[in-house]
Chains A and B, each alone.
Chain A
């Protein structure tokens, strides 16, 4: 399977703490994307990191990519109760014009106030 696998499956922290989620995949990628899904809603794109990038920041989010280990991590700093959601990594293994993403099962993050 090409799909990414998030780790841990569930994470519970206190408000103000940092949350780190990991993603591993098996075959080479063009890019890796992280998405958030609030309960009962669709997925929201957070950040995209290309295969030739090692680190990327967006606000309180920091994403790293290690292509030699085929892994990525998402760090959310100074977490808030509103960050409570499921987080998914999605890997792009597309070739030519056939673009598609392969999603993992997600990490359920709970931030306690």
Chain B
């Protein structure tokens, strides 16, 4: 399944670095999501974009800054991260921002903060 592509797959960065995660979906979907997956914790929803507009910010610290230039692309800009931000960051998309839509996930970016 290559409908949702995330780059890079792995990222190691220092706490003072600035980096960006990229997500691209080739499914013609209108809604995109960022999730954080940490060991032994449920998947945490971070941001939701519907038709390029942010509709949900799940109390995410400002050191994470999302950007959605169009319905196919989603970025997560990172700066001044903390060690507890080390996790797998997953991007997902769904056809429409309506009830009952399965979400399609990318393979994630494994982020390690030194």
Chain A residues within CB distance 8 Å of chain B: 3, 30-31, 33, 35, 40-45, 48, 50, 88, 92, 94, 97-105
Count chain B residues whose beta carbon lies closer than 8 angstroms to a beta carbon of A. Answer: 29
Other-chain residue from A44, A94, A97, A103 in contact with B42 (beta carbon distance below 8 A): A103
Tell me the B residues contacting A by CB distance below 8 Å: 1, 4, 6, 31, 33, 40-43, 45, 48, 50, 55-56, 90, 92, 94, 97-108
Question: How many A-B residue pairs lie within 8 Å, measured between CB atoms?
Answer: 64
Contact: A42 with B102, CB < 8 Å?
Answer: no
Considering the chains assembled together, what is the distance between the CA atoms of A103 and B56 in angstroms? 16
* Chain A residues whose CB sits within 8 angstroms of the CB of B33 once the complex forms: 100
- Classify the interface of chain A: helix, strand, loop or mixed: strand
Task: Tell me whether A88 and B43 are in contact (CB under 8 A).
Answer: yes
Please list 21 pairs of residues, one from A and one from B, whose beta carbons are closer than 8 Å in the complex, sorted by A's number: A31-B99, A35-B105, A41-B107, A42-B4, A42-B105, A43-B43, A45-B103, A48-B102, A97-B55, A97-B97, A98-B55, A99-B48, A99-B97, A99-B99, A99-B101, A100-B33, A100-B45, A101-B103, A102-B42, A102-B45, A105-B41
Determine how close the nearest CB of chain B comes to the CB of A13; give it in whole angstroms.
22
Does A42 contact B108, Cβ atoms closer than 8 Å?
Answer: yes
A23 to chain B, nearest CB (A): 12
- Do residues B90 and A42 form an inter-chain contact, with CB atoms below 8 A? yes
CB distance A98 to B105 under 8 Å? no
How many whole Å from B33's CB to the nearest CB in chain A? 8
- Given A40-B107, A88-B43, A98-B55, CB of A45 within 8 Å of CB of B97: no
